[in-house]
Structure 1
Amino acid sequence: MLADDQDIIMPSNFAWGAATSAYQIEGGWDADGRGPSIWDTFCHKKGKVFQDQSGDVACDSYHLWEEDLKCIQQLGLTHYRLSLSWSRLLPDGTTRRINQKGVSYYNRVINDLLANGVSPMVTLHHFDLPQALQAQGGWQSPQIADLFDSYAQFCFQTFGDRVKLWLTINEPYIYAKFGHEDGCHAPGLDQPGVSLYLAGHNMLRAHARAWHSYDALYRPTQGGQVSLALFSDWAEAHDPSSALDVAAAERYMAFVLGWFAWPIFVNGDYPPEMKARVEAASRAQGLPSSRLPTFSKEEPRILGTADFFALNYYTSRRVWPGSGPAKIGFEGDLEVERDVDPAWPVCGNSWLAVFPEGLRKLLKYIKDKFGNPTVYITENGFSQVGPVEIEDARRCRFFRDTLLQVSKAIHEEGADVRGYFAWSLLDNFEWADGYRVRFGLYHVDFAHPRLKRTPYRSGREYAQLIAQNKTSARS
């Protein structure tokens, strides 16, 4: 019995999962007719990723799926979150050309999961836009919503008889900001305050179209659910007694989480403070209108286009108002400073301060702010950097502490949390950090010819925790 595990009590139908994404694990970047994605292009340029590493091979899950399946079986997962490579299925991003070998691969994965009693949660788009569509403007193009809807409908039609949990887009905030403003993720654009809002706007439009297509055309026979995975930190006032710091924390939550959650769960539009601040900053720049786009009345409605709330949480921040000259762009619009509490230990990545209580507070915030939706925690994890520790005691403690906070959120706060997906099943390609950063429940030896998978202690203990909760639920 793990210490304190008697306090981790989840509902009997709780989804115990782990998550991955196609580009981060599959490899086979040009195998069997797959087209290039923006991450292939980004990684193949020098100086973009740690040591110029790439996802060309990654964990080679395209060829080693059976090894991944063994890991899933050993953990005793009830659910597995994976993403589909858009360019593996549709090499040019459109249904004009369908890659049947890509279809066969995902059919095999889905069927194997179901045969082993594991429910798939499938993400349609996890950062890896087909390069052919980026060449046409990518997420800044108004046509992208129609193209995404066509891709989504292809996936619903092809796999929806077996997939009952869908995520349209992963972390639109991260994709928009890192890829279209900071330039540190694909497609590597650096256009402060313009491209990220347009990309975010079009991702919301695309998500809504896909949700409506599913609702009208596929839900009646398939009976599944559709959402999108939203990233958020938890923000606390640096000085809780300061009204300005409290307001800054609220503003941070509005810009990071509310940017995408408010239109879907509140009123079909962006948070009022976000709209006001971006418009004011735009006017101060001499622009005739706000850099934040507006939703057209001719578009399908955004409000209500999520059947559950999918949350990716990693860390928390202490926040206070910005000072000094306003920056042009998202940071200037937001106008806050942040740091981490010295009491929060930092793991692996310098940005990842461990604060499990932040997740509990965030779950309560979501309950109160967005109408107590059903929540799946679709990503949460603890990284290692440096010498690998297979006996990763700190990560074991992290999972226990975090799941205890989730249990408290359910039983004490009344949050309707239905599942938890650890990031990640395997050590994998961690975007700009390459293979330097490891989040896996399973260690991957990238120097081994068969990319050997070995369970970390945290993976073994996660499996014990799952087994104990399954036993408790039956008794």
Structure 2
Amino acid sequence: MCNNLVMEYVKFWILVFCTFTTISHTSAESDEDDDYLTFPPGFRLGAGGAAYQIEGAWNVSGKGVSVWDTFTHTYPQNIKDGSNGDVACDSYHKYKEDVRLVKEIGLKYYRFSLSWTRILPTGYPNVVSKDGLRYYNDLIDELHRNGIEPVVTLYHWDLPQVLEDQGGWTNDEVVNWFGDYARIVFTEFGPKVKIFTTINEPTSFCREGYGHLNRAPNKDLDPCGTYLCGHNALKAHARAYHIYDREFRPTQNGKIGIVFACPGQIAKNPGDEATVDTYYQFTCGWFAHPIYSEEGDYPQIMKTRVAKNSFDEGYFRSRLPVFSPKWIEYIRGTADYFGLNHYTSVLVEEAPKERETILDTGIHASVDSSWPDTATSWLKIVPSGFGGILRKIRDEYNNPNVFVLENGCSDNRTTLSDTQRIEYFYSYLKEMITAIKRDGCNVTMYSIWSLLDNFEWNDGYAEGFGIVQVDFKDPNRTRTPKLSVDRWKEVVRTRKLQPLNPTIEDASELFGHQGRKRSAKC
């Protein structure tokens, strides 16, 4: 009997110990999880939009014609609903209302782009529009009056048509054209703007505009046009950077960078990190490596593969243009921050030539059928890819200061109850905060894309990325906040992520491993 009593006594204390340990462990996990929902001190939240997508007033006050004006007017069949950006959100006239929305949400900055042709109607600096300058000065002043920092992009895809008629981004004179434009922008707005972005996503407009009959300027010049466009875009960016650095930084003391489109990449065959890296180098690394790597120039894998393919196809030289040592040095280091646009991820695998692959990579990209869809065909919800790309940037470039300048998902514009978007933001931002706090990634700004539903390029107004709905059938372009606006107000107020379902404390409960959704809330 004594032995039985001793055993019961031992069991009792084992149970107490295990219970206490479990409670402590659970509490520690809960504290850690809670920490990954809270923004670090000083972290800034903002929202954005782009000139052609929101401004409208396409021919007001002497504005010149851009490639997107021409494209949508000439090829309306290439836009899903046959629409254009002639009026768009009419932000040219309603900018004060947009600023008020940003302030009501509590966001600290607003990212917008300038229309080159609104400032320089002829594309050249011989004619500077006073009305164009007045509009942007009024917008910047209105932001400052409301305690909101302007983040200004010089180029978001709307090249003056007169310059495109001379070859656009495939003409190396664009380096001088862009430099002239940049100098006027810095002169006029630099005293009031502390963050500039030169070019938004050169990967996108070079591939889609010069490699396919898909987007403006609607030229299928591959297999050479895409690379020639990218080559000149890097030179033009560097020219603008050095103009700012030499002529304006001493008095204006701002920051200037470029924005890279960096999708996430996940190996279709576990452990195939070589393919993951190759895909990265041909997408994000294409433009980031020349600026951020210690050696500069294009990624080695990119130079090697394009050269081999070119020679195999009968060319006498690589289709990827070659930078001189002088240009390599001129481009290297030309960014004060790493501008990141990220939306989704893909599965990648090596593929034989006869299978469809991304230009020259030898890689086939696909998606997991279990990844949740959005209203945009290419955008699947894969939160883990966001953390993955932030860690890749950290490791590739000695942990640069990252500004996330676009992140968001779309809806079909039929409801104000955008619950999927709320889930998307929650899961992606938790990945970002985890990458910052656990993995040491140097991310200091995050931009909601976008503030407003707007003209979504080839998709027209059939879908919307905005947290604010715009009625494009109403001449007044009435703005109506969606459910996500209320959620963002709470997030900004508390500096903490707020899940759609308060009982769900982990993004994996929403989307599972690598974004696999367990319950639909669309």
- 1:18 is paired with a residue whose SS is strand
**Contact 1:44 / 1:52 at 8 angstroms: preserved in 2?**
no
**Contact 1:140 / 1:198 at 8 angstroms: preserved in 2?**
yes
How far, CA to CA, are the matches of 2:478 and 2:112 in structure 1?
Answer: 20
Q: Structure 1 residue 8: deviation in Å?
A: 2.0
How far, CA to CA, are the matches of 2:191 and 2:163 in structure 1?
Answer: 28
Query: Which consecutive residues of structure 2, in runs of 5 or more, have no partner in the other structure?
Result: 1-32, 498-522
Letter in 1 for 2:340: L
1:373 maps to: 400
CA deviations over 1:146-177 (Å, ceiling 9, x no partner) = 11011111101100001001100000000110
Q: Structure 1 residue 132: deviation in Å?
A: 1.0
Are 1:388 and 2:417 counterparts? no
Are 1:21 and 2:50 counterparts? yes
- 2:325 is paired with a residue whose SS is coil
Normalising by the residue count of structure 2, what TM-score does the alignment of the two structures yield? 0.86
**Contact 1:5 / 1:465 at 8 angstroms: preserved in 2?**
no
1:318 maps to: 347
**Contact 1:34 / 1:102 at 8 angstroms: preserved in 2?**
yes
- 2:93 is paired with a residue whose SS is coil
Deviates more, 1:332-341 or 1:454-463: 332-341
1:307 maps to: 336
**Contact 1:381 / 1:424 at 8 angstroms: preserved in 2?**
yes
2:269 maps to: 239
How far, CA to CA, are the matches of 1:114 and 1:12 in structure 2?
Answer: 22
CA deviations over 1:173-219 (Å, ceiling 9, x no partner) = 00110111122110011122201100000000000011011111111
RMSD of equivalent CA atoms: 1.6
Letter in 2 for 1:260: F
2:110 maps to: 80
How far, CA to CA, are the matches of 1:451 and 1:5 in structure 2?
Answer: 40
Identify which of 427, 448, 456 aligns with 1:401.
427
Q: Structure 1 residue 236: deviation in Å?
A: 1.0
Are 1:337 and 2:364 counterparts? yes
- 1:44 is paired with a residue whose SS is helix
**Contact 1:12 / 1:470 at 8 angstroms: preserved in 2?**
no
How far, CA to CA, are the matches of 2:213 and 2:41 in structure 1?
Answer: 43
Identify which of 254, 257, 264 aligns with 2:281.
254
Q: Structure 1 residue 458: deviation in Å?
A: 0.8
Letter in 1 for 2:317: S
2:492 maps to: 466
Q: Structure 1 residue 449: deviation in Å?
A: 2.2
Q: Structure 1 residue 405: deviation in Å?
A: 1.1
Identify which of 133, 136, 144 aligns with 1:114.
144
How far, CA to CA, are the matches of 2:41 and 2:145 in structure 1?
Answer: 21
Letter in 1 for 2:203: Y
1:214 maps to: 244
Q: Structure 1 residue 6: deviation in Å?
A: 6.6
Alignment of 1:139-288 (within 5 A): 139-241=169-271, 245-266=272-293, 267-288=295-316
How far, CA to CA, are the matches of 1:70 and 1:79 in structure 2?
Answer: 12
Are 1:356 and 2:383 counterparts? yes
Q: Which has the larger radius of gyration?
A: 2
**Contact 2:355 / 2:364 at 8 angstroms: preserved in 1?**
no
Normalising by the residue count of structure 1, what TM-score does the alignment of the two structures yield? 0.95
Q: Structure 1 residue 232: deviation in Å?
A: 1.1
Q: Structure 1 residue 470: deviation in Å?
A: 8.9
- 1:301 is paired with a residue whose SS is helix
- 1:56 is paired with a residue whose SS is coil
**Contact 2:109 / 2:149 at 8 angstroms: preserved in 1?**
yes
Letter in 2 for 1:16: L
Identify which of 473, 478, 484 aligns with 1:447.
473
Distance 1:352 1:97, change over 3 A: same
How far, CA to CA, are the matches of 1:376 and 1:258 in structure 2?
Answer: 17
CA deviations over 1:303-362 (Å, ceiling 9, x no partner) = 1000000100000001101124277xx834111112112332111111100011211111
Q: Structure 1 residue 401: deviation in Å?
A: 1.3
Give the paired residue count: 462
